[in-house]
Amino acid sequence: MFPAAFDYAAPATLAEALSVLKQRGDDAKVMAGGQSLIPLLKLRFAQPALVLDIGRLPGLAGVKRDNGHLTIGALTRHVDLERDTELGKTFSILPEAAHWIADPLVRNRGTMAGSVCHADPSGDWGSVILALNAELVAQSSAGERMIKAADFFKGPFATTLRPDEIVTAIRIAVSSAASGGSYQKLERKVSDFATVAVAVQVEMDGRKVARAGIGLTAVGETNIKAVAAEKVLAGQEPTDEVIAEAARQAAAAAEPKDDIRGTAAYKKDVVRVFVQRGLKAAIGRAQGGKA
């Protein structure tokens, strides 16, 4: 299958890329690893006039720690996060989620930021950045702005990124509190999209949960931040009852549809069970347990 014809630009500098987007952003698609975009081009679901390949921009690959933030460059691939042993206990959700994305061949090309910008409601990273309260660094020729993950997703495959902007990095605040995360995913087979998946991140204050972040995958028009469930946990000791109530609230926030992967009722129940499991695993990790 061939995509429809398009112009192709692969600038060597960010300034050049931003200037191209300023001129032609409305007709352009930005491509990093291309693992979501190229299949869409081949099926002709997307027919942009210009593909702007940012794959050659310098300095955008890799994970950096500075000023209390973890900064994941836009060209950091799934495999880079999957194999990053430095991410350790605090952000174990990143390698854990990466491990279950697509298949090893796709993970060698696809990027976290590219997947987030693709905004597929079945995408795994969207839930992870919602759980982590991450921010996206959006650059245009006019400058830089930060977009909160919770403000990013507008609808299926639609975001609040402007046509002249490129996401150059994902930024996550590094908490000084004991933290832990977990990504729970149900997929029918390797490389299938999630039937349901749940991202959980907690910060502890002694025996209490100081903050919990919960993101839901493949159960709505976008990745969903389960705000009511997060509130149930904040400031509470995570007893079985509290965890069960948070899981019920998360299931209530899910808006799945019946499809070949399962019924809506089934998926809601998987959300409930996965939030319970994810919370227990995340809290166990935060407390240094073996969970």
Partner 1 sequence: MKVTMRINGTERGGDVEPRVLLVDFLRTNLLLTGTHVGCDTSGCGACTVLLDGEPVKSCTMLAVQVEGRDIKTVEGLLQGGALSPIQVGFHEEHGLQCGFCTPGMMMVGSALLERNPDPTDEQIRWAISGNLCRCTGYMNIVKAIKHAAKMNQEAAKAGSHAEAVPAGGGE
Q: Is 53 in the site for partner 1 (CB under 8 A)?
A: yes
Residues 175-204, interacting with partner 1 (CB under 8 A): 190-191
Q: Using the minimum distance from each CB to partner 1, give the nearer residue, 91 or 100.
A: 100
**Do 171 and 179 meet the contact criterion of CB atoms below 8 Å apart?**
no
CA separation for the pair 226, 245 (Å, rounded): 12
34 contributes a contact to partner 1 by CB under 8 A: yes
Token reading at 155: 């609808």
**How many Cβ atoms sit within 10 Å of the Cβ of residue 239?**
9
Residue 48 lies near partner 1 (rule: CB under 8 A): no
Q: Rule CB under 8 A: choose which of 13, 23, 42, 206 binds partner 1.
A: 42
When asked if residue 151 is in the footprint of partner 1 (CB under 8 A), the reply is no
* Burial zone of 234 (CB within 10 Å; 0-12 exposed, 13-18 middle, 19+ buried): middle
Out of 62, 68, 104, 155, name the contact with partner 1 by CB under 8 A.
104
> Which residue of 24, 109, 211, 280 would you call a contact of partner 1, by CB under 8 A?
109
- Closest of 183, 138, 172 to residue 285, by C-alpha: 183
Cβ closer to partner 1: 80 or 164? 80
Amino acid symbol at 187: E
Strand order in the sheet with 135-140: 63-66, 69-73, 166-173, 135-140, 143-148
The span from the CA of 231 to the CA of 222, in Å, is 20
27 binds partner 1 (CB under 8 A): no
How far apart, in Å, are the Cα atoms of 253 and each of 127, 184, 268?
A: 13, 17, 9
Q: Which stretch binds partner 1 (CB under 8 A): 100-108, 145-153, 229-237, 268-276?
A: 100-108
**Least distance CB 194 / partner 1 (angstroms):** 16
Task: Verify binding: residue 6, partner 1, rule CB under 8 A.
Answer: yes
Asked if 260 interacts with partner 1 (CB under 8 A), we say no
Q: Find the helix or strand (DSSP H, E) in which 203 lies.
A: strand 196-205
Q: Is there binding between residue 80 and partner 1 (CB under 8 A)?
A: no
Residues in touch with partner 1 (CB under 8 A)? 1-8, 10, 34-35, 38-39, 41-43, 51, 53, 55, 79, 102-106, 108-109, 190-191
